[in-house]
Amino acid sequence: GQSLEQPSEVTAVEGAIVQINCTYQTSGFYGLSWYQQHDGGAPTFLSYNALDGLEETGRFSSFLSRSDSYGYLLLQELQMKDSASYFCAVGDRDDKIIFGKGTRLHILP
């Protein structure tokens, strides 16, 4: 089966940098994705890593280490609108997508 672990909550200051970690156990791993969900909204895709290394998309970057079954999402220049829940998700070779329980990001002014 699959399981993902990520911190339940993280707090950071506006303008700062925050890192949200994710470790996973899965069979047939294909890639690690990150999603953002605001209260009352639907999850929206942020980034994806299939290979080791860092992927950068604007203020957001995502990292993967397949050998360590570990990844993280890095958010820079935090804005109040970044307050949301962030989920890591693993995709397997059959394209099934399993989500972690999410990290609630609180941003202080």
Partner 1 sequence: DTGVSQNPRHKITKRGQNVTFRCDPISEHNRLYWYRQTLGQGPEFLTYFQNEAQLEKSRLLSDRFSAERPKGSFSTLEIQRTEQGDSAMYLCASSTPENRGTEAFFGQGTRLTVV
Dihedral sign, Cα of residue 59, residue 55, residue 22, residue 4: positive
Both structure tokens of 96: 């099934």
7 near partner 1, rule: CB under 8 A: no
Which residue of 38, 45, 68, 79 would you call a contact of partner 1, by CB under 8 A? Answer: 45
50 versus 74: smaller Cβ distance to partner 1:
50
Three-state secondary structure call for residue 81 = helix
Question: Which H or E element spans position 77?
Answer: none
Which residue of 50, 60, 65, 83 would you call a contact of partner 1, by CB under 8 A? Answer: 50
Binding flags for partner 1, 12-31, as an x/- string (CB under 8 A): ------------------xx
Residue with tokens 């990292």: 63
We find the least distance from the C-beta atom of residue 15 to partner 1, in angstroms, to be 27
Interaction with partner 1 in 69-98: which residues (CB under 8 A)? 87, 91-92, 94-98
Measured distance CA(55)–CA(39) in Å, rounded: 26
Residue type present at position 49: N
Please give the DSSP secondary-structure letter assigned to residue 82.
G
> What does the binding site for partner 1 look like in residue numbers (CB under 8 A)?
30-31, 33, 41-45, 48, 50, 87, 91-92, 94-102, 104
